Amino acid sequence: MNLLALIENNAKAYLNRKPKCDVILYDDDTYENVVFPVIPSKLPAVEQKQNNEVFNGASGDITLIGTLGLREYTLDNWLLPVNKSYPFTRPNASDGEAIINFIKTRRETKKVFRICVIFTDGNEVLNMACVCDDLNYYYDSVHDIHASISFKEYIYVNTTNNQTTNSNNSLSDSQN
């Protein structure tokens, strides 16, 4: 094989390679983060339903277009190695127990955090403030964790200031 063909084959292999990505959980308040160590070849879909309604009108069924629902992201049966590094483990990845503890701590303290799915080329798949709706995990025979985790989008509610008193008009403020 001549040099030009070799370079061309290597270039094609490079261009056709699957980009790698990182799945990161991040706490905006404490700046703590954990990085998932193993990423499957096929990422889960970001789910978002629309709250449409169908009602029966005089001429038949009518669809009333609703607002977009909250996004959901589910990691089903993900491998979280504990105290080991496999050849397929992402660089700078967190330990499986650190990831579970990160999620459990935020659930117990009712804190919002962020899930980010970012390709190494910089393309962002998901950057969503969220809560953990569901956390199921077990340890396998080599003490690695297998987890299924569901995240649901969290929408921050804006607060406004009263124009005359310049005080905050949020529901969480105590009344004097």
Cα–Cα distances (Å) from 168 to 10, 15, 156, 162, 164, in that order, read: 60, 53, 15, 6, 11
Supply the pLDDT for residue 11: 60
Give percent of the chain with pLDDT exceeding 90.
48
pLDDT tens per residue across span 113-166: 999 999 888 889 999 999 999 999 999 999 999 999 999 999 988 766 555 555
Give the pairing of strands 60-64 and 21-26: unpaired
- pTM for this predicted structure: 0.74
CB 9 within 8 A of CB 47: no
More confident residue, 90 or 149: 149
pLDDT higher than threshold 80 for residue 167? no
18 pLDDT band (50/70/90 cuts)?
A: low
Q: In what order do the strands lie in the sheet with 21-26?
A: 33-35, 21-26, 113-119, 124-139, 145-153, 68-80, 47-50
